[in-house]
Amino acid sequence: MRTIWIAVAIGLLACSVAYALTPADLTPQEAAVYKTLANDQQAEKSYLVSRDFLRSARAVENKTLPALQMPRQPADYDAKYLSADEQKTVEHAIIMYIAALLNKH
């Protein structure tokens, strides 16, 4: 039964949702990277979506956002816009989401 719930959880996280991060919300370091993507609208979108999803993952990891309220991983999310440590943060938050989902049932 747990295997089914894990599959369901991963499926839920793979769906797309709207994100609200804008270039004005970026840190100076993020903004510098974003500027290098200026000629590629898809890359700009993926960058913003990926950084926004990271913020949600950090909130789950820091327990300022309940794991079950973690937004779904957007279709335009791309881990290449995250450092190795940031990718670990996202992975940990997803594990926390799955654990919370399993403990709910």
pLDDT by 10s per residue, the chain, length 105 = 444 444 444 554 444 445 579 999 999 999 999 999 999 999 999 999 999 999 999 999 999 999 999 999 999 999 999 999 999 999 999 999 999 999 986
Q: What whole-number distance in Å separates Cα of residue 94 and Cα of residue 79? A: 14
Q: What is the pTM of this model?
A: 0.80
CB contact at 8 A, 77 and 53: yes
Q: What whole-number distance in Å separates Cα of residue 88 and Cα of residue 4? A: 24
